[in-house]
Each structure stands twice: as structure tokens, then as C-alpha cells.
Amino acid sequence: MHLHKPSWLRARLPAGPGYAAVRKLVDEHRLHTVCQSAQCPNLGECWSRGTATLMILGNICTRSCNFCAVQTGRPTELDLGEPPRVAEAVARMNLRHCVLTSVARDELADGGAAVWAATIRAVRHRNPDTAIEVLVPDFKGRLNDVDTVLDAEPDIFNHNVETVERLQKPVRVQARYERSRSVLRHAKSRDFTTKTGIMLGLGERREEIERTLRDLADDKTDILTIGQYLQPTPQHLPVDRWVTPEEFQHWKEFGLAAGFGVSLATAFCAAGRGPGDAGSTSERGGGASDATCIAALPEPSGPLALS
């Protein structure tokens, strides 16, 4: 049964000079964005504000998550020239806080960790005052590959568990709840700021949400985001329910009480939002590498430079 979208869920249409500038920047630098590949409904809002979430390691994912619109298949290339182009794009968008994500590259021995590290270092070198948040896949639980990413010293290490434990296989297929928790715990053990997110509207039960939040808080995860699942295409999992603003407020308060330092929960909450973004609005859609669309980056620190 198709559920009609409620009045509180509305996406902004692409428009304005900011949108055009970001589109030109992405095309000129031959970059991928999760906004496009995941068919994110926030694309219009974010690009109109002069921001985009850059997706590295190509646009073909080796995973086949049933919530995610990114193309599944076997990637045919590895673009080693991508890190400096990403760094330049971040500079041209004048971002104070950038969020990078990627497809899963399970066919690579290191899952793409070396390219992740090179990208972080390139962005840091070109943009020394920009905070870098990474939204990474699980690297099949290989902690040495997680360490490769951590050794590049991102400011925020984000990996999403996406849903409650019971729904992991139907939603994330190849991912595992405990594996994701182990990745987050490992990053925390190295004193990184850790972040994770879940979607509601996939058939989860109230007690399962409570247990998930308690599990993640017990792992000392610092930042929690909770958003509404949105079906990206008819071939993906249907929306089980629309979560009300009142229920999201309940989960925000529950997260804080459970021990998260930051708890963000609204239908317009996106995985890439940070502590400074609580007032911005964005919608959470399908995403990449166990990630959903990252839509609410901080405002650019200046005008988008295209020359």
C-alpha cells in the first residue's frame, strides 16, 4: 500500500545561482555526489545553498542495500587522481565543514581505505581550516583498514548502523549490526569523535529503537542522527510509516538521556548534520555505503568561487 507523504515532508526544487554553481563545479571536476547517485530529495535545497556531499571511489557500489538508490555492480576503475580534485572542490565551495562519503568497494583488498586516507590528507592540505567529517563503509570489519582512515585524522568519524538489529539483513543485506558497532567502538577507542545514524519508517518497533540507542550510547558514540526513511524508487523497500514530529522529539530526548552528547532527530534530519546544524532543515533519503543522503552541511563561509 502506498503511503501519501505528509505535509511536513516537502523537498525544495533545484533553483538559483547556488544550484547552478555547484552543478558546474561537480561536472568540471568530474566528481560524484551522493546527492545525485542516491537520488536524494534534498539535492535542490543543498545545492541551492552552495553545498554538496562528495562521494569518492566512484559511483558503483559493491553492496546492494535495499534502501539505497546508488547503482550496484562491480566497479571497473579506481581513480587515483580523485583526492586533489575533491580538495579543490571543497576549497571552491568555501566550506567550514565538509562531509565526504563513498560507495563500498569490497572488491579492493583494503576496501578503498588508502584512497580515503589520501582524500582526507588532500582536503586538509588544501583547506587547513575546514573540519572534515567522513561517512565510511564498514570495510567488512577489518580494523586495520579503519585505522588507515583514522591515521589521516578526520575530525568526525561517522558510520551508520541505519536500522535496528532485526532489520539489518533485509535493509542492509551484506552489513551486520555488531560489525558496525565494532567499527564505531574502535574509532572511539582511539579518541575520535564518533557519529552514527538510523532511519525510522522501515518496520522497526519502539522497543527495538530503544535498545539500538542504548547499544550505541553504551559504545560511547558521541553524535546521533535519526531521520525518516524515504523510498528512493519503487524497487526499494516501501515506507512502513511516516514518523510524526512529536515522535522524533521523543527520540531526540531519549538519545540525550541515553548518553549521546548530541542527538538530532527530525523527519528533516540527515546523516551529515553536525552539532552546529540543529537549526537547519533537510530530508533524509537513500544513500551510499551504509549511508543516507547528507544534506545539511553548514553554510559556506563565503561566495562560491568559479574562476
Which pLDDT score is estimated for 296?
A: 33
pLDDT tens-place string over residues 154-205: 999 999 999 999 999 999 989 999 999 999 999 999 999 999 999 999 999 9
Which pLDDT score is estimated for 60?
A: 87
In the predicted model, is pLDDT for residue 50 greater than 50? no
More reliable by pLDDT, 247 or 98 = 247
For the chain, what are the domain ranges? 16-277
More reliable by pLDDT, 277 or 264 = 264
In the predicted model, is pLDDT for residue 52 greater than 50? yes
Distances (CA, A) of 166 to 161, 173, 211, 220, 228: 12, 12, 11, 22, 18
Q: Measure CA 28 to chain center.
A: 23
Q: Answer whether CATH 3.40.430.10 is correct for domain 16-277.
A: no
In angstroms, the CA 150 to CA 191 distance is 10
pLDDT tens-place string over residues 108-135: 999 999 999 999 999 999 999 999 999 9
Please tell me the least confidently modeled range out of 4-18, 51-65, 88-102, 177-191.
4-18
pLDDT tens-place string over residues 212-225: 999 999 999 999 99
Which pLDDT score is estimated for 303?
A: 37
